[in-house]
Structure 1
């Protein structure tokens, strides 16, 4: 379903000229096998939706990293995992950001400058019964940035003013920077390793 696109080459590990058009899960499975031949990868060619969480996310998963772009699916996943008492870390948006040193992990209730996480919080409160008390923590770690996103100004420049409905896109000249997306992933992975070592 999700194939390597030319626009992925600047920021995604599986994206090379020779992998464009191939399924990302297959390219990544091959990469993992080349690095660690004994590692078992269960690759699923599907997108997570609100309706297939139980089918795609095992109830015995020790930790789940949420990097979903849809706030509704993020909310459904997190609510389900919290009901199952499974550990989860969520990752916010990276579009328009360029400074990986501004990334940090905070409780989701304390994330700022992140429209995706703000919509996630609102959805968890409205649809899943999370507390509307702004002082109350969600007990959900979130990778986010304190950086204010930059937007294309339409004249080849950059502005901090949001540009209407068009928003961020690679076509508009600004998307995500590999330095930020990779660092966000590594920060989430570091949290996961810490959680797993605490279990032993």
Structure 2
């Protein structure tokens, strides 16, 4: 696949520098366009690889991590995430693939949020409420401005290329809600007031 030249480098670099400066209308627009890419690839009955973010960046990607994921471990975020997006993320991380939204559904949801942003007071209210909830979780000071929430050191055995993994005797998968219910929510404990 040939990708368009990115003037500001990778998406991670761009967000690392601009995340706090972008409003939610911009973020929803970006999410809409990002979601349309895989939806179009899937619509052509093609597959892709290595188009993912970096969850579990601080641990080795090995059998131990696979077991924890089967037991319900899910990625956490150290950035402010509106609850309506958190609910979509939780659906995407459901252990049952049949309950996960399709690429088309994700693109439709994100694009409708963007299109409705200025006309839907309810959507703006949900984002405002989410910001208030996150401020309680993260604290009024939010994330420290001295370091980007997207900059981190990756574990030497965290591998982000597609590969066949053959682990035997993995436990039965648990739904992500078990993990979130047990550990408050999707926001990192590092940034939680609890």
For normalisation by structure 1, the TM-score amounts to 0.29
More strand by share: 1
Report 1 or 2 for greater relative contact order, CA contacts < 8 Å, sequence distance ≥ 6.
2
